[in-house]
Structure 1
Amino acid sequence: MRRQHLGKFLLALTAALLLVMIGIATSTQAKLFIVNQMALAQDMQRYTAIAYGSEAEQRLDIYTPLNSLSAGNLPVVVFFYGGCWGACETLPKANYAFVAQTLTLHGIVVVIADYRLFPKVRFPSIIDDARNAVEWTHQHIDQYGGNPKQIFLMGHSAGAHLAAMLAMNQAYLSTETYADVSGFIGLAGPYNFLPFDEAYMPELFGPPLTERESQPITYVDGSEPPSLLLYGAADTRVKPVNIEGLYKRLEAANSVVNKRIYQGVGHADIIASFSIPLRRENPVVLDAIQFIKSIQTK
């Protein structure tokens, strides 16, 4: 018993110290490094740098619960990270192991994909990479214990835009893959951001796309998978009109959609909710897991 109490005390002390370190860290990269070191020490299986295309950036990592191969048919989350599609600080897939670790605890297989970034490429090349990562997942995830007929698309910020583009516009994915997309989870995503308010956007989303074709809200027609839109009321990066606009459009189309607005939560806070120090009883995490489980049991 004494050993158990000591172990719990040490875990609590470690978590407290790490929270202090995260608070002291001055950059997003430093904060993510800390939470990832915690995540990588946890129980999960990791398969890294799997090619879904021929370019160096077209690689993905897969995280599974330790019993995934024997359990099989586990729900799958394909997660896309943000960073202004490359126009601002963008950190590669390895920095988001903490998201995967939290989800694998709930029996979910997680795929996190890198993709080519602006200004090296622009749309539609970026969304092509996102599409190809999902297509690869649909074809191969059963080899890792995932259920290819239960894929959830999830992203934060610009990554939520990519996931939403695939979820809202069924023309991007093959008919078979789109039919097996069970839901979309957007964390503080830009879905309705015209007119462009950043100098890089006209070039990023320029021809052959029109401005409207760059907006996930454009494609809503009622055929979408269920959606969960998560947003922090203290977000100063992505405007509320993005969440409200997409929510209202989906509702009007009789699509299944829910939204959650969290008071006091900022743009980075909403993704940080998945980190080990912050995830305990965190409503962002609980809402995402409940959404996945509710569809899983239907």
Structure 2
Amino acid sequence: MKYINILFTFINLLFVLNVNAGLLSNLGSIFSNESNKGKDISFGTPRKLDVYYDEKGTDSNNLKPVVIWVHGGAWVEGDKGQYANFGKVLKENGYVGVVPDYVLFPFGKIDTMVNDIYSAIMWTRENIAKYGGDPSNITVSGHSAGAHLIALTVLKAALGYKNKGDYLEPLTFLKKLVLLNGPYDFDDYSLIKQLFNFPVSDGIVEEAITMLLNDKNISPTDLLKRFNNKSVGSLGIPKIVFFYTSEDIVVPPTSADGLISEIERTAPETDIRYIYLHNMNHNTLTHGVKNDEDEFKELYINLIQM
């Protein structure tokens, strides 16, 4: 038993180093017989991404729409391997799926996560045609913390905010954002703590909450509040879909109200769609897709197609 515990500790250490520092290749690929083609691709940061596409061949005259999936996990947990089913579902439904990792707290802060998401989006535009994807038809979708990071990345780029000391090129080539159960305001300690509803060190939780409360450039809503009515005009993203559920006690649906209001006030050209479904909690959709349940795979594709 002693040696088994040591083995599992070692494997966990390898996993943390791999996801957050990019020091080791993905263990799942090492121990499986699945082809590494399209797996663990570098995209300009220490993290890696996976591409789900038709490996039988690509047709440059019939490129497929692309969806980038960004996982949640309260900025402290999760990895692309856990969400492989999202890539598979996208591939099965005629898309090219891109699933990146991003640095997790405490190994990196929000600005480094934004840099990872931005780099994954830019890599996709520049390289996805090689996998049969259309670089002019890219949707970015994410859940919970992933939805927050997508919104923050797009707004920082569109509004001219620096990230890690550099301005980001506006992501005007994106077609759509599909944001699931995302938190966008961080003014209430008790609401923020609800995000960490899974086993994680109390010390890390308190550090993460402090980070979220004290950084004034973390809330997408707050970024827009500094602009006058109709002064933005367009965010460069034609459509944004917000998805919430009635039984979500982790992120209340009201989290999007402020952000939607600010988008409508400052960038009225944006087409906003709001979907609210009953009898589902914070993770019903994502767990359903991960568990290969047809009902939720169909729901996710329907949201992407809106």
TM-score greater than 0.5 by the shorter chain: yes
Of the three residues 261, 271, 276, the one matched with 1:261 is 276
Letter of the aligned partner of 1:78 in structure 2?
Answer: I
Tell me the alpha carbon deviations over residues 45-103 of structure 1, each in whole angstroms, 9 at most, x when there is no partner. Answer: 96110011352xx10000013566126421111111111111xxx22101111111212
Stretch deviating more after TM superposition (126-135 or 161-170): 161-170
Distance change in 2, residues 1:50/1:267 (3 Å): same
**Equivalent position of 1:27 in the other structure:** none
The structural deviation recorded for 1:277 is 4.2
Contact 2:69 2:97 in 1 (8 A): yes
**Equivalent position of 1:53 in the other structure:** 44
Q: How does 1:108-187 map to 2 (within 5 A)?
A: 108-169=95-156, 170=158, 171=160, 173-175=168-170, 178-187=171-180
**Equivalent position of 2:219 in the other structure:** 215
Distance 1:161 1:284 in 2: 21
Identity of aligned residues (%): 26
Distance 1:186 1:98 in 2: 18
Distance 2:185 2:57 in 1: 37
Distance change in 2, residues 1:148/1:286 (3 Å): closer
Distance 2:91 2:274 in 1: 23
Structure 2, gaps ≥5 residues long: 1-27, 161-166, 194-205, 225-231
**Equivalent position of 1:235 in the other structure:** 248
TM-score by length of 1: 0.72
Structure 1, gaps ≥5 residues long: 1-35, 292-298
Contact 2:285 2:296 in 1 (8 A): no
Contact 2:178 2:304 in 1 (8 A): no
Q: How does 1:53-132 map to 2 (within 5 A)?
A: 53-55=44-46, 58-66=47-55, 69-70=58-59, 72-86=62-76, 90-132=77-119
Cα RMSD of the aligned pairs, angstroms, is 2.8
The structural deviation recorded for 1:232 is 1.2
Distance change in 2, residues 1:98/1:46 (3 Å): farther
Distance change in 2, residues 1:268/1:74 (3 Å): same
Contact 2:141 2:179 in 1 (8 A): yes
Distance 2:58 2:279 in 1: 40
Distance 2:36 2:53 in 1: 5
> Which secondary structure does the structure 2 equivalent of 1:231 belong to?
strand
